[in-house]
Amino acid sequence: MVISSEESLRVIAAEKRTGKKVKVAFNYRYTPTHQKLRRVIMEGRLGKITNIEFIYNLDTFHGASYFFRWNRERSKSGGLNIHKCCHHFDLISWLIGDLPEKVFAFGALNYFGPHGAHRPKGSNGEPLDPSETKRQCPYFQKNFSKSTSADSNAISTGWDAYDLPYDVQYPPDQPRYIYDDAIDIEDTYSAVVRYRGGASMTYSCNFSAPWEGYTLAINGTEGRLEISNRVDPNPTGNSAPAGNTGLITFLPLFGGCERIEIPAVAGGHGGADIVIQRDLFEGISDNSRDLQLLAGSEAGAYAVATGEAVMRSIRDESAISIESLLPMPTP
């Protein structure tokens, strides 16, 4: 929605001042798999939620692409702790029907930036020129070399069907690559989040991994829900296929196993995009209303605040209260 809690509060203040409402469509709420997870939890089959285990990986193509783009600078994006991870934080809050209370996190810039682990160097350890850097860089060679010349300054993320990287945003005379000094965000996160109702989440996000996807488990007093969504490495450097499948496993606490299959669906973001467009432009459906798929400024603000708390905790090496960033009345 925005890139800081301060901006969130300005949005909420504008709503109160004008009487208008902001709509926030989190694509992760809208996938068929997550809708089914939400229904199982709403049915009470897990009992009281106790804790969540959430690991999210981005592969060397998708993860590296953020470090070509404007996301690389915290002043523009808030960092990937907000730009990307807010989807994950909202997903959990929405699934368990609770709000984050406190965050403690560690994070670092390991793979990208001037000290990136795989940055090629000269014989004396000196930086190479941009073209030679790309020629020797494993990220470029694996994911971009077939579509982009090492001598070119073009961005090739694979999603540029509309030629969106325009000159005003990315001046042609300003070379950029994933090891630039301008990069000031993290690419690796580990966090613990406590929720108001007492549940907690362990969260890991890695922007340079051999495979892309996530594993998610939600534990409750009556059982456990598990899901693994994995995209195998693609040597052509393309993103995930249009169709997405999921398999949810429900394990009652005292034995048994139920596998819930989710059929493949077409469309962007795991089939979410078309449903989001219908809710926004044609009117919200009964299913979306029942599951609370379409969100508002408050949900957007809490997702952003959780991401900001991750950044502040990394910086301050201390636990960060969400209320300190977002002083709002308890719903």
256 falls within a domain: yes
14 falls within a domain: yes
Distance of CA 310 to the CA centre of its chain: 13
Strands 49-59 and 200-209 come out as parallel
- Number of separate domains in the chain: 1
Q: Which residues contact 149 (CB under 8 A, 6 or more apart)?
A: none
199 falls within a domain: yes
DSSP letter, residue 121: B
298 falls within a domain: yes
If we measure between CA atoms, which residue out of 312, 319, 32, 328 comes closest to residue 200?
A: 319
Q: Which domain holds residue 209?
A: 5-111+183-325
289 falls within a domain: yes
36 falls within a domain: yes
What CA–CA distance (Å, rounded) separates 318 from 309? Answer: 10
Q: What confidence score (pLDDT) does residue 132 get?
A: 96
Q: What confidence score (pLDDT) does residue 238 get?
A: 44
Phi and psi angles of residue 55, each rounded to the nearest 5 degrees, phi first: -125, 125
177 falls within a domain: no
Question: What are the DSSP E strand ranges found in the chain?
Answer: 23-24, 49-59, 100-108, 188-195, 200-209, 212-220, 223-231, 244-252, 258-265, 295-296, 320-321
Q: What is the pLDDT along the chain (331 residues), one digit of tens a residue?
A: 999 999 999 999 999 999 999 999 999 999 999 999 999 999 999 999 999 999 999 999 999 999 988 899 999 999 999 999 999 999 999 999 999 999 999 999 999 999 999 999 999 999 999 999 999 999 999 988 888 889 887 766 555 555 556 677 777 788 889 999 999 999 999 999 999 999 999 999 999 999 999 999 999 999 999 999 887 655 444 444 433 456 899 999 999 999 998 877 777 787 888 999 999 999 999 999 999 999 999 999 999 999 999 999 999 999 999 999 999 765 5
132 falls within a domain: no
What CA–CA distance (Å, rounded) separates 127 from 61? Answer: 23
Phi and psi angles of residue 271, each rounded to the nearest 5 degrees, phi first: 90, 5
What CATH number has the domain bearing residue 46? Answer: 3.30.360.10
What CA–CA distance (Å, rounded) separates 69 from 84? Answer: 13
